[in-house]
């Protein structure tokens, strides 16, 4: 009897200590999601072994595509197709709806495929210019993301982008295995690596986060010209419903001075803005984004 | 039994550990946004007392028109048209979804009380709401004389501006400037004029017999200081005018020319340039004691001294190194350092009331510019240019610059204002037949 009691006390005590010490704290650091997703650049050979077959049926080609080229992201027109960095992008995303990531990918491959050699520069030109501009409006968060990570030499980027787009197309088809079993089977080998790298799929990927940032960018009305703007970092904690609608937004680091209060209120308005609801986030990772914090940092302005 | 029990407990530990590791911690940093206007809806004031009378409704409309004009002119707000409003009856409170549906982010609802029993006065109350979070941001009430209706409307706009942007407003302020008419016999007629910042309530303060320049407000608004060339047009002297009584007196009895006067932030001294034997130096004159102190020495031309808002530094322009450049000196006369670096000539520096910028006029390759730079000279930005743009003055919240501009040789020189980000330039209405020069912006009226 006594022994049991001792064991019980010890174990309960251990649990308490563990919880108090808060192992969760380290996770709060930003680096966690800033860590580059381990994107495996499939060697060209692998790629050519695979795919190169069909163009995804629905893909409204004009649609999304390159928001990338439009966005200031310098990187070249060619970039767009690649955007896909998304190999980790499992999200199914229905075509018609303008979902962020996947959407761009499919259409892209189509044009690209047309011209085999150095597809990017050439093929993209016709397809890219038109869609991008108008497409940009519908606000595809996606585009911004890809160019940034790929600041490597353009050439390499182009080539791997091309291979990425192929990959993406296939990945996309993967969930639709039933309808297209042959390609799925063919892809299995090449995609095994991707699956391994998919431990990142539990967390939001770089591109998903960039997509989210791009979406919020349109809703955050920055108080320009505010004195000491660099000082006005506002943390807003939000709760999101499974459909992506923000249910509540709360400023967690309020300060009494009126300038900060105004900056805090304008930051709080951003996730509640109709243009940012619903948030474009992958539904299957809901656990990751059902409650999180936006940090509004006006460091890039006057 | 015990063993199993304990094993169970042991198994729980890792479960609990994992659970706490999963605690929220995702922080997504947003560093880019848009700079756009905040859509604001201002509902027509609800009338109490004298409802239905035309005069009451007109009065309410007049007040609202001024509030709307102030807020839409500052560039931060987009006033939504009342025709778009969905909710028009407020008996059951505010239906926020109706306002969200028309994309309003801020809602202002007010009421106006007029009473026959209290003629000559009115009460206006209003509340400001944040539509997205459904929170009341503030409520204010003003009790004023009907004759002060314009100032009250400006004060309402100031309150809304401050609550939403965090910065003090600038709507209840006045502008003093020099109105120049062609005059007769080749002598232009310069008169001092004063008006509300939106151009209303315009009056002349001098009769044009003297040639006057560079009027400036004292921080307490009791006085104006300005330059007067006297009836003989020969010797410019600095004068002080009492804005209430209209009385004026000369400041100091210098033998030479005195120019470019400005008040110190405490209103007790005036800094000016005194020109003698071809050189011009900065002098500080204490008004009450008439004591004068020389701040700069040398043979250069040092003019246009302007205090920092804390009163610890003075910026001025000088040609001591050959070309006209901007310099800063400590208020006690030490540590003169040059802050302007670019090519061209710099003049008329004015220190922002916020203390974080200095505005100036720059001429470069035949073109005029108004620019701003940090007090240490960094971050120089040119925000507007024209055939002639000069003599900037800051609004009391340090956000807006007013200046005089002439777009071509044949044009008339007029007053304009612009936000310090370089956007939202508007002309300031002044009598059309005259030119308008040398504006000075008053502090917020109490």
- Rounded to two decimals, the ipTM of the complex is 0.74
Instruction: Pick the residue of A29, A225, A246 with the most B CBs within 10 A to test the interface with B by mutation.
Output: A225
| Residue pointed to by tokens 């690209």 | A112
Region B185-204: mean pLDDT is 87
* Cβ neighbour number for residue A227 with a 10 Å cutoff: 19
Between strands B27-30 and A291-296, the pairing is: parallel
Per-residue pLDDT, A293? 92
Using an 8 Å CB-CB cutoff, list chain A residues near B12: 11, 15
**Strand, coil or helix: what is A267?**
helix
Nearest-Å Rg of the Cα atoms of chain A is: 22
What A239-243 contacts at long range (C-beta under 8 Å, 24+ apart), as own/partner pairs, is A239/A290, A239/A291, A240/A279, A240/A281, A240/A289, A240/A290, A240/A291, A240/A292, A242/A283, A242/A286, A242/A290, A243/A278
Using an 8 Å CB-CB cutoff, list chain A residues near B419: 225
Q: What is the mean pLDDT of chain A?
A: 61
Cis status of the peptide bond prior to B367, with omega within 30 of 0: no
Q: What's the rounded Cα separation, in Å, for the pair B346 and B178?
A: 22
DSSP state for residue A221 in the 8-state scheme: B
Rounded to a whole number of angstroms, the distance from the CA of A212 to the nearest CA of chain B is 9
Would you say B442 and B174 are in contact if contact means Cβ atoms under 8 Å apart?
yes
Q: What's the rounded Cα separation, in Å, for the pair A187 and A165?
A: 14
Confidence label for B52 from pLDDT (cuts 50, 70 and 90): low
Q: Which residues pair with B143 in a beta bridge?
A: B123
Largest CA-CA distance found in chain B, in angstroms, rounded: 118
> Tokens representing B57?
């409704």
Region B404-409: mean pLDDT is 92
- List the B345-351 sheet strands across, edge first: B345-351, B358-364, B367-373, B381-386
Confidence label for A288 from pLDDT (cuts 50, 70 and 90): confident
pTM: predicted TM-score of the whole model, two decimal places: 0.68
Q: B217 φ, ψ to 5°?
A: -85, 150
Query: Under an 8 A CB cutoff, do B20 and A217 touch?
Result: no
Q: pLDDT tens-digit profile of A240-258?
A: 999 889 999 999 998 888 8
Would you say B368 and B360 are in contact if contact means Cβ atoms under 8 Å apart?
no
The continuous run of DSSP H or E covering B232 comes out as none
| Residue pointed to by tokens 């997504």 | B28
- Which one, of B396, B397, B341, lies nearest residue B371 by Cα? B341
Of A49 and B440, more confident: B440
Tell me how many residue pairs between chain A and chain B have CB atoms under 8 A apart. Answer: 159
Region B359-379: mean pLDDT is 93
- Which one, of B235, B183, B192, B236, lies nearest residue B215 by Cα? B192
Between A91-100, B129-138, B228-237, B250-259, the lowest mean confidence (pLDDT) is in: A91-100
Torsion, Cα A76 A78 A79 A81, to 10 degrees, reads 160
Rounded to a whole number of angstroms, the distance from the CA of A284 to the nearest CA of chain B is 16
Which range has the top average pLDDT, A44-58, A186-200, B41-55, B366-380?
A: B366-380
Confidence label for B402 from pLDDT (cuts 50, 70 and 90): very high
Q: B102 φ, ψ to 5°?
A: -95, 15
DSSP state for residue A259 in the 8-state scheme: H
Per-residue pLDDT, A151? 41
Chain A residue with CA closest to B31: the answer is A297
Q: Residue B191 above 70 pLDDT?
A: yes
Find all residues with CB under 8 Å of A46, minimum gap 6, and list them: A190
Q: What is the mean pLDDT of chain B?
A: 87
Rounded to a whole number of angstroms, the distance from the CA of A114 to the nearest CA of chain B is 37
Q: pLDDT tens-digit profile of A134-186?
A: 433 443 334 333 434 444 444 444 444 454 444 444 433 444 444 444 444 44
DSSP result, A84-142: T-GGG------SSS--SSTTTTTTTHHHHHHS-SSHHHHHHHHHTTTTHHHHHTT--SG
Confidence label for B324 from pLDDT (cuts 50, 70 and 90): very high
Of A132 and B366, more confident: B366
Query: Under an 8 A CB cutoff, do A295 and B16 touch?
Result: no
Q: What's the rounded Cα separation, in Å, for the pair A97 and A103?
A: 9
């Amino acid at each position: 009897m006594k022994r049991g009691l001792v064991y019980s006390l010890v174990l309960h005590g251990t649990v308490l200590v563990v919880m108090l010490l808060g192992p969760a704290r380290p996770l709060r650091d930003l680096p966690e999601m800033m860590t580059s997703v381990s994107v495996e650049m499939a060697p060209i050979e692998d790629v050519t072994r695979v795919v190169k077959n069909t163009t995804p049926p629905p893909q409204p080609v004009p649609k999304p595509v390159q928001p990338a080229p439009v966005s200031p992201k310098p990187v070249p027109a060619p970039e767009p197709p690649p955007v896909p960095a998304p190999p980790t992008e499992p999200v199914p995303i229905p075509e018609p709806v303008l979902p962020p990531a996947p959407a761009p990918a499919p259409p892209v491959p189509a044009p690209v495929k047309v011209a085999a050699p150095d597809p990017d520069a050439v093929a993209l030109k016709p397809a890219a210019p038109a869609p991008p501009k108008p497409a940009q409006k519908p606000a595809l968060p996606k585009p911004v993301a890809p160019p940034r990570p790929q600041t490597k030499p353009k050439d390499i980027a182009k080539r791997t982008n091309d291979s990425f787009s192929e990959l993406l197309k296939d990945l996309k088809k993967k969930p639709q295995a039933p309808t297209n079993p042959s390609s799925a089977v063919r892809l299995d080998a090449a995609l095994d690596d991707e699956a391994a790298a998919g431990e990142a799929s539990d967390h939001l990927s770089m591109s998903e986060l960039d997509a989210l940032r791009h979406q919020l960018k349109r809703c955050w009305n920055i108080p320009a010209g505010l004195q000491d703007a660099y000082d006005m970092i506002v943390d807003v904690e939000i709760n999101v419903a499974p459909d992506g609608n923000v249910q509540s937004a709360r400023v967690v680091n309020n300060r009494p001075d009126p300038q900060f209060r105004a900056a805090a209120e304008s930051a709080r308005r951003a996730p509640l803005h109709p243009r940012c609801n619903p948030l474009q986030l992958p539904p299957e990772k809901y656990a990751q984004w059902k409650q999180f914090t936006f940090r509004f940092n006006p460091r890039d302005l006057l | 039994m015990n063993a199993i029990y304990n094993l169970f407990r042991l198994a729980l530990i890792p479960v609990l550990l994992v659970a706490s590791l999963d605690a929220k911690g995702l922080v997504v940093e947003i560093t880019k946004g848009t700079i756009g206007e905040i859509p604001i809806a201002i509902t027509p004031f609800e009338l109490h007392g004298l409802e239905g009378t035309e005069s009451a409704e007109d009065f309410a409309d007049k007040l609202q028109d001024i509030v709307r004009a102030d807020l839409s002119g500052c560039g931060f707000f987009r006033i939504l048209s009342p025709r778009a409003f969905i909710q028009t009856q407020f008996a059951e409170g505010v239906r926020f979804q109706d306002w969200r549906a028309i994309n309003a982010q801020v809602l202002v609802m007010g009421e106006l009380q007029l009473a026959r029993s209290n003629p000559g006065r009115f009460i206006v109350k209003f509340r400001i709401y944040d539509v997205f979070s459904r929170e009341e941001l503030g409520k204010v009430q003003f009790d004023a004389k009907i004759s002060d209706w314009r100032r009250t409307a400006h004060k309402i706009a100031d309150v809304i501006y401050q609550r939403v942007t965090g910065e003090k407003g600038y709507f209840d302020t006045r502008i003093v400037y020099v109105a120049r008419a062609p005059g007769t016999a080749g002598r232009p007629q310069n008169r001092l004029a004063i008006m509300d910042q939106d151009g209303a309530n315009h009056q002349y303060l001098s009769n044009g017999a003297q040639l006057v320049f560079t009027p400036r407000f004292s921080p307490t608004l009791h006085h104006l200081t300005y330059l007067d060339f006297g009836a003989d047009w020969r010797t410019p002297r600095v004068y002080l005018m009492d804005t209430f009584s209209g009385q004026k007196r000369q400041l100091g009895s210098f033998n030479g020319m005195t120019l470019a006067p400005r008040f110190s932030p405490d209103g007790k001294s005036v800094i000016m340039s005194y020109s003698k034997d071809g050189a011009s130096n900065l002098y500080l004159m204490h008004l009450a004691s008439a004591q004068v102190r020389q701040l700069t020495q040398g043979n250069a031309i040092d003019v246009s001294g302007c205090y920092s808002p804390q009163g610890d530094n003075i910026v001025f322009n000088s040609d001591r190194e050959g070309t006209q450049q901007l310099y800063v000196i400590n208020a006690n006369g030490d540590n003169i350092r040059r802050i302007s670096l670019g090519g061209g000539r710099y003049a008329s520096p004015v220190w922002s009331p916020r203390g974080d910028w200095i505005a100036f006029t720059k001429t470069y390759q035949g073109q005029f510019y108004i620019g701003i730079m940090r007090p240490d000279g960094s971050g120089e930005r040119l925000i507007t240019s024209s055939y002639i743009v000069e003599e900037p003055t800051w609004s009391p919240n340090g956000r807006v610059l007013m200046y005089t501009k002439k777009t071509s040789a044949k044009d008339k020189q007029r007053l304009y204002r612009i936000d310090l980000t370089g956007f939202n330039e508007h002309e300031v209405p002044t009598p059309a037949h005259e030119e308008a020069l040398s504006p000075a912006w008053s502090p917020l009226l109490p």
